[in-house]
Homo-oligomer: A and B are copies of this chain.
Amino acid sequence: MTPEEFREAGHRLIDWIADYRASLESKPVMSTLEPGEVKAMFPTSPPLHAQGFDQVFRDLDEKIVPGLSLWQHPQFFGYFPANAPLESVLGDYLSTGLGVLGLAWQSSPALTELEEVVLDWLRQMVGLSSEWSGVIQDTASTGSLVALLCARERTTNYGLSRGGLQAETKPLIVYGSAQAHSSVDKAALLAGFGRDNVRYVETDEDFAIKPESLERAIQTDLELGLQPCTIIATTGTTATTAFDPIRPMAAIATRYGVWLHVDAAMAGSAMILPEMRHLWAGVEGADSIVINPHKWLGAAFDCSTYYVRDPEHLVRVMSTNPSFLQTDADGRVKNYRDWGIPLGRRFRALKLWTLILSQGVEGLQTRLRRDLENARWLEAQVRAAPGWKVLAPVALQTVCVRHEPPGLEGESLDSYTQGWAARVNRSGDAYLTPATLEGRWMVRVSVGAVDTEHRHVEALWRVMQREAANQRTL
C-alpha cells in the first residue's frame, strides 16, 4: 500500500471510527452472538491473491462489529473502565504509523525519552515522590509478575545467577489476600513459588487486609523455618475496590525485610485527586507499584505503568546485554528493555502523552470526580430501595449490589442474581459483571466509561430494577 493509497483508506477509516463512536449509544452494549458465529463467517483458508481494502470495511460492518461487546459505550459498567478516549487513540495511531521500535535507546531515542518524561509526569500527578522511576508494561498481570521476580531475586541475593529458585533450601512465601487480583496468584505460580507457598491473609469487614493477621502469618512461617519474601497490597481490589492499609503493611515489610508490592492497577488513577490519596497513605514505603492508565484514566489499552524505588535492582534482574544490542550510548541512557520482560517495545508513551496533553490534569480530575459522584448517587439509590443492598464500602467508583427479595437465599438467591444480571446484559441496555463475594454472587457496577454521564447511571438503575422484577416474575 503506497502512502497515497493509505491516505485514501486512512481517511475512510477515520470517518468509520468517528461514525462508530458517535453511534455507540444506539447499539446494544453486549454482543449476543453464539460461540462460533463470527468464526463461521470467515474463510477457513487464507486468500491467495490480494483483496482490496474495501473487503476490510465490508467484513468490519458485517462480521466484526456484530461480535463486539462495546467497552466504550456509555452504558458499559462491566469489569473496569478500559477507556480509550479519542485523544489517546490518536497517540496510539502515531505510534503504529511511525513504526519505530525500542530495543536500545539508540534504536529510537525519542521512544525512550518521551517515556521517561511522561512517566515522570504521571508520578507527579499521583503524588509520588521523586524517589520513584517508572516504565510502561502491557498489563498489571505482567507488572505483578515482574514485582514477584524482583522480590524473589532480592530475597535470594540474585539466585538466578547461580542455581535459580530450585537451589533455594528455604521455601519463599508470598502474602496477599483472597481479594487480591487473580493475576497475583498466577504470577506467584509462574514465578515458581508454588501454591503451597501463597498465603491468603484474613481481611476485615471492608475486605481489606488485617495487618495483625499479616504479621502473625509471617511470624508463623518464620517459626516453621520458611522465608517470607513478598507482600501484595491492593489499592482498589477487583471485586469491591477495597483498600489494603499500606502504612502498617509497609512497616511490617520493613520489619521483616520483605518486598512490598502495591497493586494499584485500578485505583492508582484516582490518586490524581489529592482528596483520594489517603487511601494509599504510606505508599512511599513500598518497593514497587502498578498503576494502569489504560483503565479509568484513559490511555488506550495497553498501557500499564510499573514504578520502582530501586531501578538498579530491576535492571540487574531483567537485563541482558548481547553484542547486537550494545551501542556507544549505553551507560548514559535508559535501555527500557532491561526494565521488563519483552525486548522489543512499542512507542506506548505517545498515547499517554496525547491524553495528558489534550485533557490536562484538571480535565482528567474533573472526569474522575464526576464518576465518583455518579457512583455515590447510585449507592444512595440502592440503599434507599427496598430489598436492595450495597455490599461493600463505595470508596471508589464501583458499587457492589444485590437484590434480596424476601424468601430467597443461598443458591436460589445466587441463581436469581445471576439471572437478572444476565437479563440486563442480554437486553443490550447496559453491561454488568457479576462476581462472588464471601461465597455468594453479587453484581458489580463499575462506573467510569468516558461517555457515562449522570443520565446513563440513572438509566442503568432503571434497567437493573426492571430486569430484577422480570426475573422475579418468572
CB-contacts of A171-191 with B (<8 A):
171-172, 181-183, 185-186, 189-191
Residues in A66-103 with C-beta less than 8 Å from chain B: 66-72, 78-79, 82-87, 89-94, 96-101, 103
Q: Is the CB of B185 within 8 A of A320?
A: yes
How many Å lie between the Cα of A138 and that of B422 in the bound state?
33
A427 contacts B by Cβ under 8 Å: no
Kindly name the residue among A13, A70, A110, A300 whose own CB sees the greatest number of chain B CB atoms within 10 A: A110
Q: Are A197 and B163 in contact (CB under 8 A)?
A: yes
Q: Is the CB of A109 within 8 A of B46?
A: no
Chain B residue at smallest Cβ distance from A125: B46
Which parts of A120-155 form the interface with B (CB within 8 Å)? 120-122, 124-125, 138-142, 145, 149, 152
Tell me if A322 and B238 are in contact (CB < 8 A).
yes
| A104 → chain B closest CB, angstroms | 9
Q: Once bound together, how far apart are the Cα atoms of A78 and B152, in whole Å?
A: 36
C-alpha gap A35/B106 in the complex (Å) = 9
Are B38 and A110 within 8 A (Cβ)?
yes
CA distance A4 to B14 in the complex (A): 10
Contact residue among B49, B238, B344 (Cβ-Cβ distance under 8 Å from A139): B344
User: Is A213 among interface residues, defined by CB-CB distance under 8 A?
Assistant: no
User: Which A275-323 residues have C-beta < 8 A from chain B?
Assistant: 294, 300-302, 317-318, 320-323
B160 A189 Cβ-Cβ under 8 A: yes
Q: Are A89 and B171 in contact (CB under 8 A)?
A: no
What's the nearest-Cβ distance from chain B to residue A65, in Å?
8
Interface presence of A195 (CB below 8 A) = yes
- Knowing A82-B101, A192-B166 touch, does A121 contact B72 (C-beta < 8 A)? no
The verdict on A30 contacting chain B, using a C-beta distance below 8 Å, is yes
Contact check, A45 vs B7: say whether CB atoms are below 8 A apart.
no
Q: Nearest CB to that of A294 among chain B residues? A: B344
Residues in B with CB closer than 8 Å to A358 are 1, 50-53, 55-56
Of the listed stretches A248-256, A359-367, A464-472, chain B binds A359-367
Knowing A99-B84, A164-B192, the reply to whether A6 touches B90 (Cβ < 8 A) is yes
With a cutoff of 8 Å between Cβ atoms, the chain B residues found around residue A320 in the complex are: 182-183, 185-186
* A381 interface contact, C-beta 8 A: no
Complex Cα–Cα for A110 and B71 (A): 13
Query: A34-70 interface mask toward B, CB cutoff 8 Å, 1 = contact, 0 = none?
Result: 0111110010111111111101100010011111111
